[in-house]
Structures are given as C-alpha cells and as structure tokens.
C-alpha cells in the first residue's frame, strides 16, 4: 500500500497530533512554545482531523486484499412435510381391462384379489441438515481492484492534506491571538504610563493655578487631557483583557494567562522570494489535496473502463457431510457485458473530463498560491521597513518630550505642550508596536502559504529586535 502524501507533511501531522504537552492552567507567564503545546493537546479540531486520517487509513488497509480469493461456509438445517393425493382410477381401469383379457382361470384368481383404492394419500416428513464449503477467486476484473485501491489512496491523501491544512490554520490562529495579546498589553502599558504622566502634570497644573502661575483655561485643558488619557487607558485595558481571554480559550486554559514571548522584528530582510515560491510548490497542503483529487478522478475513470472489460472468476463448491463421498463442483466463469441500458461511452467521457478538471485546477491553484506567497512576502518586508523607519519618528518624539520637559522648567513651554509631547510619544510607540505585530502576522501568513508553519519559531529565535509590553 502506498500513500501519495508527502512524507514531510505526514510527519508534521504526527508532530501536531502527538507532541509532548504542557498544561496551561495556572501559568502566569505563558511562552509561545507552551501555548503551542497546549493548543496541540486540547484542540478538538486537530483531534477530529486525526480521526479522519485514521479512518481513511484503516479503510485503505482494509481493502488491500480486494480482488483476492474468498472462502465461505454455508450451513442449512430445515424440516419439511410433503402431502400428495394420487388418483388411482386410471390405473384401476387399465388393470380391469388387462384382467379381462387373461384366461378365465388366471383372471378369476386376480379378480378375487383386493381391488386398488380410487386414490392414495402420500405423506412424508423429515429433517435435513447440509453444509457446503465454497470458494471464489476473481482471476481477472479488468483492473477494477486496483482502481478501487487507487481511489482509497486518494481519499487517504486528501484526509492527510486536510489535517495538515487544519494544523497550519490553527498555528496561524495561535500566532494571531498570542501576539495580538502582546500588542494589546503593550498598548495598555503605554497608555497607563501616559496616564500617570498626565496625572502628574494635572496635579502640577493645579498647584500652578493656585500659585497664579497659569490661567484657569490651561488648568481646564490639563484636566480634559487627564480625562481623555484615563478613558484611553480604560479602553486599552479592556482590549488587553479581551485579547487574553481569546488566547486562553485558544489554548483551553482555565486561569488567566500572560504571554511572555515578546513581539519581534528582524532587521535583516527575508530570504529571496524565489525560495518561498519553491517551498510553496513543494509543501503547500492545498497542492497535496488537489493531487489527491486528481488521483481519485483517475481511479474512478479507471474503474469505469474496467467495467467494460470481461470478468473471469474461478469457483468451487464442496458438500461437507459424513458419507465419505461428498458432492463437489469446480470451474471457471466468464462474464462480458455486451450491451446494457447505461451509456458507458458517456460515462468514460465524464471520467476523463474529471481528470482534465483536476489538472486545470492544479494549474490554477499553483498560480493562486504563487500570488499569495508574493503578497505575504511583500507584506512582511513592508512591515519590517515600516518598523525600522519608525525609529526616526520615535527619536523625534523622545527629543520633543525632553525639550518640552526642560521648557516647562524654564517657562518656555506650557503644561499642555508637555502633555501633548507625552501623548505623541505614546502614539508613535504604539504605532511601532503595531508595525511589529503586523510583521509577525504577515510572517505567519507567509509561512502558512508556503506550507512551513513549523518554521515560525525559528524565525522568532533569529529576530534581533524584541518589543516587550513594558519596554520604555
């Protein structure tokens, strides 16, 4: 038996379905590796995919011997009762005529004998047991057995491709929810830091108002900025809470969790696009599924053609009894359908169209995957460049905050200027964290489109820029 699914994808499915697991319950800091292990352990979708793969595999193994000999024992036990009325009148008349022609001495003797009755009732009852041993061996079926096994191979390959697709999608979903939580935590931390700064300046503005240093309108502006900063922090806090809840549900955690693996960006560009294109053509599970569909179509077409050919069977039947001379029969049977009500030419043409459809679908899917890979590759590079170019904006925002802080001490800046500088820095830092998040999500999408989601942790380990939630 041969499965046509690439060995790498099969090994990945085994890894996905049977990896060592680490529980997520009660973990304060949850690394991405721990989250991934918990996802593998508790995912119902992956368990369902495993059942589908096992079902297809067992069905294929069960049909491995299709077309081989079969041996059966048949036993019978029955009781019967037979009743028959036999009309003897014709026999009586024939006998009387024959007696009349005999010599008188002999005819008289016969005439003195008892006469035959007019009818006779025959009754019989019995119990019969019988056993037979029968064997059938399809000698030639026109390739039908191979066609059936080929279709089952295609179904098994399709189940494996679906399992790999499910695993890739779940890995991407985990990346999305895990690092979205990190982004939300980063945004909440920045908003809290901004709130604390604005609150300090609001207190200072109150003191300055009481000292007569600033006008009441500046005090009101500081209060409005504090209210807005507080509202923005509450919003960011709730967003982070929802993100943690989504992550906890993804890994089936029963306690609150905190992701510990930071957002990341690599300052180095990705490998050449051609390498990802080549990997996609080799590893994408969608192509494996199309290949499985093509195998199924070819097998169905072969089965249709097999029914047009003659079929040869060898058979034997032997009675099992205790007489020592059992009855038996053996022979060959040939069946060739010359004509029936089904238009087999059109069925064969339909099968060939399905094969052609699978080939065209393969070409279209390869084109779509290539376009998707290029799109995701460009998205990763765009997010990387956006993050790196944002360094100048962050440096400017930091310098502006330093100047506004010094200016407030020297009387050249207002409290509102300082608050605006602080909020601007938070805005720039949040945007850069969003760029890092977009880099991570685009990288996960790129690896999924190339069938290499298992390499995500390698890219994460090689990244030289880490953005933690509490980074300054």
Tell me what the mean pLDDT of segment 184-205 comes to. Answer: 92
| pTM to 2 decimal places | 0.79
What's the confidence (pLDDT) of residue 115? 60
Residue environment code for 40-64, b if the CB has 16+ CB neighbours within 10 A, otherwise e? bbbbeebeebbebbeebbeebeebe
**Can you say how many angstroms the Cα of residue 4 is from the centroid of all Cα atoms in its chain?**
17
Alpha helices in 74-143 (DSSP H): 89-100, 104-111
Question: Are the C-beta atoms of residues 393 and 428 closer than 8 Å to each other?
Answer: yes
At 313, give phi and psi (nearest 5°). Answer: -125, 140
* In a domain? residue 87: no
The tens digit of pLDDT for each residue in 308-326 reads 889 899 988 888 876 667 7
- Per the structure block, which two tokens stand in for 289? 């599924």
pLDDT at residue number 408: 81
H helix count then E strand count, the chain: 12, 8
**Residue 71 phi, psi (nearest 5):** -130, 130
What pLDDT score was predicted for residue 298?
93
Please, which residues bridge with residue 196 across strands?
Answer: none
* pLDDT (tens digit per residue) in 73-82: 888 887 878 7
At 335 the three-state DSSP class reads strand
Please check whether residue 86 lies inside any domain of the structure: no
In a domain, 317, yes or no: no
Query: What mean pLDDT is predicted for residues 289-311?
Result: 90
Which residues face 263 on adjacent strands?
467
Provide the pLDDT for residue 7.
39
What CATH number is associated with residue 299?
1.20.1600.10
Decide if 139 is inside a domain.
no
In a domain, 81, yes or no: no
Residue 27 is predicted with a pLDDT of 43
For residue 445, what are its two tokens? Answer: 């999408």
Average pLDDT, stretch 390-406?
94
Average pLDDT, the chain: 85
Tell the burial category of 16 from Cβ atoms under 10 Å away from its Cβ (0-12, 13-18, 19+). Answer: buried
Structure tokens at 148: 């059936």
**Does residue 238 form part of some domain?**
yes
Contact, 52 vs 138, CB < 8 A?
Answer: no
In this prediction, residue 428 carries a pLDDT of 96
Q: What is the pLDDT at residue 120?
A: 65
Question: Does residue 233 lie in a domain region?
Answer: yes
Asked if residue 232 is part of any domain, the answer here is: yes
Structural domain span for residue 164: 7-67+145-309+346-467
pLDDT digit string (tens) for 7-65? Answer: 344 334 433 333 333 334 444 589 999 999 989 888 899 999 999 999 999 999 999 98
Angstrom distance (rounded) from CA 163 to CA 449: 15
Domain count, the chain: 1
Q: Mind listing the pLDDT tens digit for each residue in 125-165?
A: 888 788 888 898 998 988 989 999 999 999 999 999 999 99
């Amino acid at each position: 038996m041969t499965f046509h699914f690439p060995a790498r994808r099969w090994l990945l499915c085994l890894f996905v379905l049977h990896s060592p697991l680490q529980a997520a319950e009660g973990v304060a800091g949850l690394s991405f590796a721990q989250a991934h292990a918990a996802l593998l352990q508790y995912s119902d979708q992956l368990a369902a995919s495993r059942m589908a793969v096992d079902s297809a595999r067992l069905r294929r193994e069960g049909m491995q011997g299709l077309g081989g000999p079969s041996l059966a024992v048949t036993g019978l036990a029955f009781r019967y009762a037979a009743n028959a009325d036999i009309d003897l009148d014709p026999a009586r008349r024939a006998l009387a005529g024959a007696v009349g022609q005999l010599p008188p001495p002999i005819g008289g003797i016969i005439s003195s004998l008892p006469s035959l009755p007019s009818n006779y009732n025959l009754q019989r009852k019995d119990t019969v047991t019988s056993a037979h041993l029968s064997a059938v061996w399809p000698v030639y079926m026109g390739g039908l057995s191979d066609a059936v096994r080929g279709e089952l191979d295609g179904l098994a390959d399709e189940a494996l491709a679906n399992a790999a697709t499910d695993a890739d999608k779940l890995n991407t979903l985990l990346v999305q929810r895990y690092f979205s939580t990190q982004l939300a935590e980063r945004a909440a931390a920045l908003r809290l830091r901004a709130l604390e700064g604005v609150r300090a300046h609001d207190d200072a503005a109150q003191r300055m108002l009481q000292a007569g240093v600033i006008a009441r309108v500046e005090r009101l502006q500081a209060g409005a900025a504090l209210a807005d900063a507080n509202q923005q922090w509450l919003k960011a806090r709730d967003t982070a809470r929802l993100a943690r809840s989504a992550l906890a549900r993804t890994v089936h955690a029963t306690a609150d969790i905190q992701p510990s693996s930071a957002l990341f960006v690599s300052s180095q560009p990705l490998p050449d696009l051609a390498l990802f294109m080549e990997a996609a053509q080799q590893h994408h599970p969608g192509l494996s599924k199309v290949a499985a569909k093509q195998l199924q179509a070819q097998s169905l077409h072969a089965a249709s053609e097999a029914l047009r050919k003659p079929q040869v069977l060898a058979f034997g039947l032997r009675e099992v009894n205790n007489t020592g001379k059992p009855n038996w029969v053996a022979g060959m049977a040939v069946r060739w359908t010359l004509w029936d009500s089904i238009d087999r030419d059109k069925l064969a043409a339909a099968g060939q169209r399905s094969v052609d459809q699978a080939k065209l679908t393969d070409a279209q899917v390869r084109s779509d995957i290539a376009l998707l890979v290029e799109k995701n590759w460009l998205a990763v590079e765009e997010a990387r460049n956006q993050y790196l170019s944002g360094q100048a904006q962050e440096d400017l925002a930091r310098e502006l905050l330093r100047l506004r802080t010094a200016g407030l001490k020297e009387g050249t800046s207002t409290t509102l200027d300082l608050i605006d500088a602080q909020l601007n820095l938070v805005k720039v830092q949040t945007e850069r964290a969003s760029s890092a998040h977009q880099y991570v999500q685009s990288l996960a999408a790129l690896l999924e489109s190339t069938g290499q989601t298992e390499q995500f942790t390698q890219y994460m380990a090689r990244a030289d820029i880490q953005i933690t939630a509490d980074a300054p």
